[in-house]
Amino acid sequence: MAEVLLQIAGIHKRFGGLHALNDVTLSINKGEIYGLIGPNGAGKTTLFNVLTGLYQPDEGQFTFAGRDLFRQKPYVVVDTGIARTFQNIRLFGNMTALENVMVGRHVRTKGGVFGAVFRDPATRREEAAIRERASQLLDYVGIAKHRDEAARNLSYGDQRRLEIARALATDPKLLALDEPAAGMNGKETDDLKKLMEKVRRDGVTILLIEHDVKLMMDLCDRIAVLDYGKKIAEGVPEAVKNDPRVIEAYLGASPE
Ligand SMILES: Nc1ncnc2c1ncn2[C@@H]1O[C@H](COP(=O)(O)OP(=O)(O)OP(=O)(O)O)[C@@H](O)[C@H]1O
């Protein structure tokens, strides 16, 4: 039987009078690529923000890898094994690609203030290991040649890959990607799809928000659909695509 990695139940999130997440329940199995779709404003990013500790849910339950993460702080969430990218790229533009990934890696290291100030041998060894791992990750996502370039000078597609490398540097069990293909051309999207398949093969579960329906249909094992903060459908892509509630949510009318 499939092993559940992430489970949320009865999650509510309100912004004043707006019910952005309304009783959302879902579970993601280890090794899955799980998609989240829905019209604009449906609550997808809000759910990501709840799952990564940026927003505190009003009610519900949230467990991940056997730990209770309900209303936990973002650093606890990262530590437990959830990493994410953002809809709007959030890199340190003036830092090199390598340095951006090293920042992500620091989450998993021990060197404290003492080590950083006095640069003792243990800290220097640790720093070298961080650099080495960051370098490997740039290679892994296919942008090793841009290692020493400022992040802001990378192409849009490469910046998205760099964000993924930085997220992977935290050694996540679950990688949550918020519209990673936005603004990509066909070739870049195809390369991104291959990268996500590789990440999954290497043991990382993926949660994906994406508007590119073809990409979602090709890539996801299961898809959940949000509409006005409610989960209106969930299942394998083919079933979701043909679900009348989903067609209605997207088109505003049932195809009779
Ligand atoms: N911090 C906030 N304060 C107030 N309202 C918010 C906040 N964050 C999100 N919302 C509202 O919650 C609703 C859901 O927004 P959300 O960004 O989660 O939708 P989405 O499905 O990700 O949309 P899109 O596909 O356009 O990115 C929207 O009506 C949005 O305006």
pLDDT (tens digit, 9 = 90+) per residue, 94-110?
999 999 999 887 776 66
Residues of the chain within CATH 3.40.50.300 domain(s) are: 1-81+172-256
Query: How far does the centroid of ligand 1 lie from the alpha carbon of residue 14, in Å?
Result: 10
User: What are the distances in angstroms from CA 251 to CA 38, 241, 244?
Assistant: 11, 12, 10
pLDDT class for 114, splitting at 50, 70, 90? low
ipTM score for this prediction: 0.96
Q: For position 183, what pLDDT does the model report?
A: 83
Task: Indicate the pTM of the whole model.
Answer: 0.91
Other Cβ atoms less than 10 A from the Cβ of 186: the count is 7
Q: CB of 193 within 8 A of CB of 162?
A: no
Pairing of strands 33-37, 222-227: parallel
Q: What is the pLDDT of residues 195-218, one digit of tens each?
A: 999 999 999 999 999 988 889 999
Among residues of the chain, what percentage have pLDDT more than 70? Answer: 93
Q: What span, in angstroms and rounded, lies between the C-alpha atoms of 193 and 215?
A: 7
What tokens appear for 155 in the block? 């192409």
CA of 130 from ligand 1 middle (Å) equals: 36
- Angle at CA 189, nearest 5°, toward 183 and 190? 165
Fold of 1-81+172-256: Rossmann fold (3.40.50)
23 CA distance to ligand 1 middle (Å): 16
Report DSSP letters for 215-238, one per residue.
HHHHH-SEEEEEETTEEEEEE-HH
Per the prediction, the chain carries an average pLDDT of: 91
Length of the chain: 256
Best of 18, 208, 209 to mutate for ligand 1, by most ligand atoms within 8 A of CB?
18
